[in-house]
Chains A and B, each alone.
Chain A
């Protein structure tokens, strides 16, 4: 579950960088 959280966090980071 913790790893799922990390996966999600990287997705959010990539999203935020593409659409700031």
Chain B
């Protein structure tokens, strides 16, 4: 964002989640945003049918982190043919939980006066990274030692031309916090923490070598199934 824009986590561009040809003329594109702890689904609804659309409502299937609408879908006026409206749906994390495959999958039902339509979309796990995710240094050291090596996953983040301070600042904007930095043999080692809305802590070490655009990310977590999704967020944020 530019000067004066509210800060928040990385927001992906909207993509088409429901194609008009599969939904009797209703096209839905969307993305997810976290701004100051408020989670939202940002939607664009387009009427590509010949008649007016009314009576919109939305429902989520149960999902891995209990994501659910915190209010109704506010489409206050009928949607005319060829009209698009943007709607922000506030979300809460207090819905029913069921582990999804992939973990960040969300199944959505949208209805209007014509029919009910279903689609799936995936949210970036960074939607769940809370603002108080900076772990105490002492706790980090103890936890890092305590989590078994089998729970460590390693990833390559390729083609990133940022030094460690810039990378660290960028990540902090998405609630990935740097706790310590050490330089060993020309490599900057960043120790970082992330806390998910459900209380899961993720610990990370990012190695940045001067002149090498490929960084090594090691992730330790007691729930190792989240690691690859945290890695995806690093890539998205650092490449944005």
A binding-site residues for B, Cβ under 8 Å: 6, 9-11, 13-15, 17-18
Contact = CB atoms under 8 A, between A and B. Distances in A.
B88 to A, nearest CB: 41
A10 B184 contact: no
A6 B189 contact: no
B189 A14 contact: yes
B145 to A, nearest CB: 9
Nearest to A10: B180
Interface of B: 137-138, 141, 144, 180, 182, 184-185, 187, 189, 191, 205, 218
The 6 closest A-B pairs by CB, nearest first: A14-B182, A10-B180, A18-B184, A14-B189, A14-B184, A6-B137
Contacts of B191: 10, 13-14
A13 B187 contact: no
Nearest to B186: A18
A17 B141 contact: no
A13 B191 CA distance: 10
A8 B222 CA distance: 25
Nearest to B191: A10
Contact of B137 (A10, A15, A18): A10
A17 B138 contact: no
Contacts of A10: 137, 141, 180, 182, 191
B180 A18 contact: no
Given A10-B191, A15-B184, 19 more contacts: A6-B138, A6-B141, A10-B137, A10-B141, A10-B180, A10-B182, A11-B182, A13-B141, A13-B182, A13-B191, A14-B182, A14-B184, A14-B189, A14-B191, A17-B189, A17-B218, A18-B185, A18-B187, A18-B189
Nearest to B218: A17
A5 B232 CA distance: 34
A2 to B, nearest CB: 8
B137 A17 contact: no
B155 to A, nearest CB: 15
11 contacts: A9-B141, A10-B191, A11-B182, A13-B141, A13-B182, A14-B184, A14-B189, A15-B184, A17-B205, A17-B218, A18-B184
